[in-house]
Amino acid sequence: MIIDTPEVQDINSFSRFEFLKETYGIIWTLIPIFTPVLGITIGVLVIVWLEREISAGIQQRIGPEYAGPLGVLQALADGSKLLFKENIFPARGETLLFSIGPSIAVISILVSYSVVPFSSHLVLVDLNIGVFLWIAISSIAPIGLLMSGYGSNNKYSFLGGLRAAAQSISYEIPLTLCVLSISLLSNSSSTVDIVEAQSKYGFWGWNLWRQPIGFIIFLISSLAECERLPFDLPEAEEELVAGYQTEYSGIKFGLFYVASYLNLLVSSLFVTVLYLGGWNISIPYIFVFDFFEINKTYGVFEPTISMFITLAKTYLFLFIPITTRWTLPRLRMDQLLNLGWKFLLPISLGNLLLTTSSQLFSL
């Protein structure tokens, strides 16, 4: 009996080839996703370090200095310490809600990074509803906070969770209306289109100059959405021990910590994209244009420069929230809600109508 071995081998190698191709395809789709995850993690570590160093500078302390050169690795050391800490579940709490809460907070904020453009092609998904997706997803995070506040079975946590939800829904609407004005100016909700609409006229083409009121409202509301200090009522130390985080320990507390810094980074990135011209170098009449023309053939240089510019703008902007933290005192709950509903909401509606009218004249 003769077995036609070459044929069998052919089939084998073919099937293996198919299998390889499939694996290769999967890996090829996963690499561009894992790279941003890694980048985001590093970005968060940088923010934590920046915040600690700037805070130390403001308060005339030294700040982290032992872990690595200039204390760069301090955040990493803190995170790995939290991994080794015991996970305590409060005896009377809801274990399921208690664990799902921080996960939802982290996931919903991480997912909103998928629409942030770092360069004209360096964006995970260029959806035509880009910013809208961000707004929709970022409003899932308060559900996680509410769940963790409820699941802790602690009065402080419960009140903190309620406050977090009330605060983020109050400031969601001014934020959405500001983004609406921006997408009206650029006739698109895609983040890439919004940046490209600002690329003309260099520095003066930024939406910051066309939407000064919107920029200020966006700044205030994004501070409130991140629960940064003038608006950190959900975790006000003097009243509610640590708000919804009171019962958390170990890595679950770490997830909340990461979520708050992820939120800060993403809102700063969106300020860059929506108001500060994104990846454009934004200095008109300078050699850069010729410089780019020469180097366009290489294909790697331009995305790198674009990403560098985006990140530089983002981290420079981050100085504002961090210094605000040590400058302004905390608001009261009624002041917070009054500011949101009776001041920012009418002004952002007025800003929208003003933008619409000015666009109408330019039609």
Partner 1 sequence: MFLLYEYDIFWAFLIISSVIPIFAFVISGVLAPISKRPEKLSSYESGIEPMGDAWLQFRICYYMFALVFVVFDVETVFLYPWAMSFDVLGVSVFIEALIFVLILIVGSIYAWRKGALEWS
Q: Give residues 91-120 in contact with partner 1 (rule: CB under 8 A).
A: 91-93, 99, 102-103, 106-107, 110-111, 114
Interface with partner 1 by CB under 8 A: which range of 29-37, 195-203, 212-220, 289-297?
Answer: 29-37
Residue (109 or 276) nearer to partner 1, CB: 109
Which parts of 315-334 interact with partner 1 (CB under 8 A)?
A: 333-334
What DSSP character marks residue 300? S
Handedness of CA 148, 154, 158, 159 (dihedral sign): negative
Scanning 59-154, the segments in alpha helix (DSSP H) are 74-83, 95-111, 130-138, 141-151
Residue (257 or 309) nearer to partner 1, CB: 257
Measured CA to CA, the distance from residue 315 to residue 322 in angstroms comes to 11
Measured CA to CA, the distance from residue 147 to residue 95 in angstroms comes to 11
Name the minimum Å distance from CB 82 to partner 1: 8
- Residue 30 near partner 1 by CB under 8 A: yes
Residue (123 or 309) nearer to partner 1, CB: 123
- Residue 33 near partner 1 by CB under 8 A: yes
**118, 151 in Cβ contact below 8 A?**
no
Binds partner 1 by CB under 8 A, chosen from 219, 236, 331, 345: 345
- Residue 363 near partner 1 by CB under 8 A: yes
Pattern 242-281, partner 1, x by CB under 8 A: ----xx--xxx-xx--------------------------
Which parts of 174-203 interact with partner 1 (CB under 8 A)?
A: 176-177, 180-181, 183-184, 187-189
List the one residue out of 284, 285, 235, 237 whose CA is nearest residue 259: 235
What is the DSSP track for 131-194? HHHHHHHHTTHHHHHHHHHHHTT-HHHHHHHHHHHHHHHHHHHHHHHHHHHHHHHTT---HHHH
- Residue 359 near partner 1 by CB under 8 A: yes
Q: Rounded to 10 degrees, what is the CA torsion of 44, 46, 50, 56? A: 90
- Residue 292 near partner 1 by CB under 8 A: no
List the one residue out of 75, 85, 111, 74 whose CA is nearest residue 253: 85
Measured CA to CA, the distance from residue 334 to residue 339 in angstroms comes to 8
- Residue 358 near partner 1 by CB under 8 A: no
Residue (125 or 294) nearer to partner 1, CB: 125
Return the structure tokens found at 57: 């500078």
- Residue 127 near partner 1 by CB under 8 A: yes
Mark residue 92 as left, alpha or beta (left: phi above 0; alpha: psi -120 to 50; beta: remaining): alpha
Name the minimum Å distance from CB 313 to partner 1: 24
Residue (154 or 268) nearer to partner 1, CB: 154
Binds partner 1 by CB under 8 A, chosen from 145, 159, 224, 271: 159
